[in-house]
């Protein structure tokens, strides 16, 4: 095509149309081909006679065609009848090319591979893979690999491309021999050759389960590439300059003195780590994680105090208006009596108020709290030294970077109330320093979790009524706002109307994401003040809402929620001195995953254990998807099964970056290619 750029020197040598299709499955360079490993293997090294083929068994047969016809009832299909010395079989094709029809002409000798099944007229194969042969065509001497593919790319084409790449590419090992021997790993070239061309007699179960030593080597190299890239990004940040935030007064100590509670040991340890980071001349990039109610907000407030007392500004960004305003009100109550000027920015501010807060942000506001409004054009900070991001997994990389760009490379503290399993933190968050609040403040009351089928819904209504009559308040959470034909779930609007009738004399409120910001704020303020007894809500109340008198959480259609959401919602109660309960109403029949989730949330209250089991169910792709980090998801390694490889790779990455930087570069180039430039930035 005129004007088209020539392919890169290391591009796969194939027609442009094929290269575009290969790019869809991540194959851009010849170097990608050896790492495109088979999904499974088929044994074409032997022929199975028809009288020895069993229904449901994938086999290779060698037969001669004696009939070929196209039938149009019940649908168009090509029916090929063939036989060997032991019996007959029908080959059925519902879609086919003229060339395939010609290859299956009467008298043709073919080898076909597929699953044999019993049909009305005896044995049959549906859409087998086949090829025409001569009488003396030898059998393959190796297993046939079956590769991940896409429409328009035949397995045979991939097999040829991979075989050629294996024969011409330099697969020199990037692991120093001493490290490889210490870890007892086979060589990479040998491992790749084995995985692409396993010899006859290979234990296919160990290959399919990815337990074989050759698989272990490839998985280690993949994890090592991830660790090298993240660790190098971590070290590169340390070469950047950042404000040195050393407290010049006792603002933090005065805040602690005013608190109506004492700090836990975990909070004190976290604050010491953060304080040390803020005093360094390179930017802090720390993740503060803790279970629901572990007290992350006060740690963030003390970090802000250090920045403010050093003469800089702090920004506090939260993902939702409700959560951001909760933080604003709490931080204002804590800090304004100490003389700190706190500004508030959100999309719902009226023009006059917004103008005032923008002016304060650009001048004398010392702490600015808000939503995504903080990163919009027109928001200028006078001297931003610390950026705090709550529920960081709800923001993409671009949004977090936009907040950092509002200052001169400010320190960044990210917080998450969704506990991250250790193996996940070691792999996908290896570029961050991680602080864990592993201790709950005293006074948090245990929450009893109950599972109730939806046909006992009226019993739950009675339980809510009794609970409220004792002076407590309750949440009732629904997954949808309005009725949906696709999902016949109890909706928030309908539940609000029903409970208003079923609970006469009690005030029922409704809050959801489609309400205007000031309407949401008014409802939440009324609930916090005790003017609303039962708050019907969607998941807008999932994080940050803190009403100590609310000690009952009802979750409608709990089977539709993820484990993280269920745990977060349950954490909205148990914040006062009263016995608290969480009632999970579910509709049957339950699928296997929904059953697993409800069992886990019923049996466990430890957020880290819940997160670990959630990772097993969902996998890392969904767990960290919102992070939008640019870090490639692991294709081969399994974080649960291969946790030891992650540990090993962390240590080896440090060693290689220090002692073997050239080999580290080659390793990254092999596994990540041009993506490494993205990761480096």
Residue pLDDT, tens place only, 500-538: 999 998 999 998 877 887 788 788 889 989 999 999 988
List pLDDT tens digits, range 253-280: 999 999 988 999 999 999 999 999 999 9
- Whats the size of the chain, residue-wise? 681
Q: Residue 675, SS3?
A: helix
Q: What percent of the chain has pLDDT over 70?
A: 92
Give the residue from 469, 660, 673, 477 showing the smallest Cα distance to 583. 477
Asked if residue 452 has pLDDT above 60, the reply is yes
- pLDDT higher for 132 or 632? 132
Residue 210 CB neighbours (<10 A):
18
What is the model's pLDDT at position 678?
39
List pLDDT tens digits, range 198-241: 987 788 888 888 989 999 999 999 999 999 998 998 898 888 89
Highest average pLDDT, of 282-296, 428-442, 656-670, comes from: 656-670
What is the model's pLDDT at position 413?
95
Q: Is 471 left (phi over 0), alpha (psi -120 to 50) or beta?
A: left
Measured CA to CA, the distance from residue 130 to residue 427 in angstroms comes to 43
- pLDDT higher for 123 or 445? 123
Structural contact between residues 266 and 439, judged by C-beta atoms closer than 8 angstroms: yes
Structural contact between residues 393 and 624, judged by C-beta atoms closer than 8 angstroms: yes
Asked if residue 487 has pLDDT above 70, the reply is no
Measured CA to CA, the distance from residue 386 to residue 681 in angstroms comes to 21
What is the model's pLDDT at position 626?
39
Asked if residue 191 has pLDDT above 90, the reply is yes
What is the model's pLDDT at position 396?
63
List pLDDT tens digits, range 538-576: 877 755 567 889 999 999 999 988 888 898 889 888 878
Q: Quick one: which H or E segment has residue 584? A: strand 580-586
Q: Which two tokens stand for residue 466?
A: 């009794």
DSSP conformation class of 17:
H
Q: What is the CB-side half-sphere exposure of residue 463 using CA atoms within 13 A?
A: 20
Residue 676 pLDDT level (bands cut at 50, 70, 90): very low
Structural contact between residues 322 and 333, judged by C-beta atoms closer than 8 angstroms: no
- pLDDT higher for 485 or 134? 134
Set out the domains of the chain in order of their start, with CATH numbers: 46-139 (2.40.50.140), 219-234+635-680 (no CATH), 251-437 (3.40.50.300), 447-604 (3.40.50.300)
**Radius of gyration of the chain from Cα atoms?**
31
**What value, to the nearest 5°, has the Cα angle with vertex 593 and ends 630 and 319?**
40
- What phi and psi, each to the nearest 5 degrees, are found at residue 193? -60, -40
Measured CA to CA, the distance from residue 604 to residue 354 in angstroms comes to 44
Measured CA to CA, the distance from residue 385 to residue 404 in angstroms comes to 9
Residue 370 pLDDT level (bands cut at 50, 70, 90): very high
Query: Among 84-93, 235-244, 490-499, 578-587, where is mean pLDDT lowest?
Result: 490-499
- What phi and psi, each to the nearest 5 degrees, are found at residue 662? -65, -40
Measured CA to CA, the distance from residue 128 to residue 139 in angstroms comes to 18
DSSP conformation class of 29:
B
Q: Is 184 left (phi over 0), alpha (psi -120 to 50) or beta?
A: left
Give the residue from 237, 190, 266, 260 showing the smallest Cα distance to 401. 237
**Site of tokens 């999932």:** 542
Asked if residue 296 has pLDDT above 50, the reply is yes
**What value, to the nearest 5°, has the Cα angle with vertex 33 and ends 27 and 38?**
100
Measured CA to CA, the distance from residue 596 to residue 576 in angstroms comes to 30
What is the model's pLDDT at position 601?
93
Q: What percent of the chain has pLDDT over 90?
A: 53
Average pLDDT over residues 408-418: 88
Task: Please report how the helices 188-196 and 155-168 are oriented relative to each other, as an axis angle in degrees rounded to 10.
Answer: 160
Query: Which residues pair with residue 474 across a beta bridge?
Result: 534, 552
Residue 408 pLDDT level (bands cut at 50, 70, 90): confident
Give the residue from 474, 478, 476, 475 showing the smallest Cα distance to 538. 478
pLDDT, the chain, mean: 87
Give the residue from 220, 520, 245, 178 showing the smallest Cα distance to 385. 245
Q: Is 3 left (phi over 0), alpha (psi -120 to 50) or beta?
A: left
What is the model's pLDDT at position 633?
66
Buried b / exposed e over 562-598, threshold 16 CB at 10 Å, is ebbbbbbbbbbbbbbebebbbbbbbbeeeeeebebbb
What is the model's pLDDT at position 114?
93
Q: Detail the DSSP E strand segments found in 281-425.
A: 285-290, 313-317, 342-345, 367-370, 384-389, 411-416
Query: Which residues pair with residue 128 across a beta bridge?
Result: none
Residue 628 pLDDT level (bands cut at 50, 70, 90): very low
CA pseudo-torsion sign 661, 665, 666, 671: positive
Highest average pLDDT, of 5-19, 159-173, 538-552, comes from: 159-173
Average pLDDT over residues 315-335: 89
Asked if residue 87 has pLDDT above 90, the reply is yes
Measured CA to CA, the distance from residue 71 to residue 94 in angstroms comes to 10
What is the model's pLDDT at position 621?
56
Highest average pLDDT, of 18-32, 304-318, 631-645, comes from: 304-318
Asked if residue 13 has pLDDT above 70, the reply is yes
Measured CA to CA, the distance from residue 342 to residue 357 in angstroms comes to 9
Residue 406 CB neighbours (<10 A):
18
Query: Which residues pair with residue 508 across a beta bridge?
Result: 534
Measured CA to CA, the distance from residue 223 to residue 671 in angstroms comes to 10
Average pLDDT over residues 591-601: 91
Structural contact between residues 215 and 195, judged by C-beta atoms closer than 8 angstroms: yes
Measured CA to CA, the distance from residue 421 to residue 426 in angstroms comes to 9
Average pLDDT over residues 606-617: 81
Asked if residue 659 has pLDDT above 60, the reply is yes
Numbers of helices and strands, H then E, in the chain: 24, 22
Buried b / exposed e over 297-330, threshold 16 CB at 10 Å, is bbbbbbbbbbbbbbebbbbbbbbbbbbbbbbbbb
Query: Which residues pair with residue 342 across a beta bridge?
Result: 367
């Amino acid at each position: 095509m005129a004007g088209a750029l020539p392919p890169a020197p290391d591009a796969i040598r194939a027609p442009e149309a094929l290269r575009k299709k290969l790019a869809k499955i991540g194959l851009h360079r010849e170097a990608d081909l050896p790492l495109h490993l088979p999904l499974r293997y088929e044994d074409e090294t032997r022929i199975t006679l028809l009288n020895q083929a069993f229904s449901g068994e994938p086999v290779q047969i060698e037969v001669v065609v004696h009939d070929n016809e196209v039938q149009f009832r019940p649908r168009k299909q090509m029916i090929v009848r063939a036989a060997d010395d032991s019996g007959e079989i029908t080959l059925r094709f519902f879609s086919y090319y003229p060339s395939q029809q010609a290859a299956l002409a009467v008298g043709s000798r073919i080898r076909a591979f597929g699953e044999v099944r019993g049909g009305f007229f005896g044995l049959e194969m549906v859409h087998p893979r086949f090829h025409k042969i001569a009488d003396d065509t030898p059998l393959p001497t190796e297993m046939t690999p079956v590769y991940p593919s896409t429409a328009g790319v035949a397995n045979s084409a991939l097999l040829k491309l991979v075989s050629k790449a294996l024969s011409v590419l330099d697969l020199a090992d990037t692991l120093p021999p001493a490290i490889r021997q210490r870890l007892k790993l086979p060589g990479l070239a040998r491992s790749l050759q084995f995985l692409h061309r396993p010899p006859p007699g290979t234990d296919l179960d160990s290959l399919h389960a990815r337990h074989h030593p050759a698989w272990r080597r490839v998985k280690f190299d993949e994890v090592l590439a991830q660790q090298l890239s993240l660790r190098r990004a971590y070290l590169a940040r340390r070469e950047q300059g950042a404000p040195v935030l050393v407290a010049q007064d006792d603002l933090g100590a005065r805040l602690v003195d005013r608190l109506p509670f004492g700090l836990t040991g975990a909070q004190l340890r976290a604050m010491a780590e953060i304080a040390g980071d803020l005093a360094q001349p390179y930017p802090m990039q720390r993740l503060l994680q803790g279970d629901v109610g572990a007290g992350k907000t006060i740690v963030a407030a003390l970090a802000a105090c250090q920045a403010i007392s050093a003469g800089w500004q702090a920004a506090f960004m939260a993902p939702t208006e409700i959560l951001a305003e909760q933080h604003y009100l709490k931080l204002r109550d804590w800090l304004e009596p100490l003389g700190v000027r706190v500004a508030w920015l959100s999309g719902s501010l009226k023009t006059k108020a917004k103008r005032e807060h923008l002016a304060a942000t650009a001048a004398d506001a010392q702490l600015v709290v808000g939503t995504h409004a903080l990163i919009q054009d027109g928001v200028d900070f006078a001297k931003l030294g610390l950026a705090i991001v709550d529920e960081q997994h709800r923001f993409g990389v671009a949004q977090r970077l936009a907040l950092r760009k509002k200052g001169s490379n400010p320190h960044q503290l990210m917080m998450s109330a969704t506990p991250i399993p250790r193996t996940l933190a070691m792999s996908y968050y290896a570029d961050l320093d991680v602080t864990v609040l592993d201790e709950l403040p005293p006074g948090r009351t245990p929450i009893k979790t109950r599972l109730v089928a939806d046909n006992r819904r009226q019993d739950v209504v009675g339980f809510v009524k009794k609970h409220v009559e004792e002076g407590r308040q309750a949440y009732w959470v629904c997954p949808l706002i309005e009725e949906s034909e696709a999902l016949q779930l109890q909706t928030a609007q309908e539940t609000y109307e029903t409970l208003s009738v079923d609970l006469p004399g009690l005030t029922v409120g409704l809050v959801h994401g489609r309400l205007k910001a000031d309407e949401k704020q008014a409802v939440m303020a009324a609930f916090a003040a005790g003017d609303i007894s039962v708050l019907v809500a969607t998941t807008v109340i999932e994080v940050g809402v803190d009403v100590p008198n609310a000690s009952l959480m009802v979750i409608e259609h709990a089977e539709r929620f993820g484990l993280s959401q269920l745990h977060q919602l349950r954490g909205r109660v148990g914040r006062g001195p009263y016995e608290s309960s969480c009632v999970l109403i579910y509709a049957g029949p339950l699928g296997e995953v929904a059953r697993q989730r409800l069992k886990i949330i019923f049996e466990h209250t430890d957020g880290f254990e819940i997160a670990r089991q959630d990772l097993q169910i969902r996998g890392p792709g969904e767990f960290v998807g919102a992070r939008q980090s640019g870090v490639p998801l692991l294709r081969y390694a399994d974080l649960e099964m291969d946790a030891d490889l992650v540990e090993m790779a962390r240590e080896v990455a440090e060693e290689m970056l220090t002692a073997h930087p050239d080999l580290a570069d080659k390793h990254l180039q092999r596994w990540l290619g041009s993506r490494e430039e993205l990761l480096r930035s």
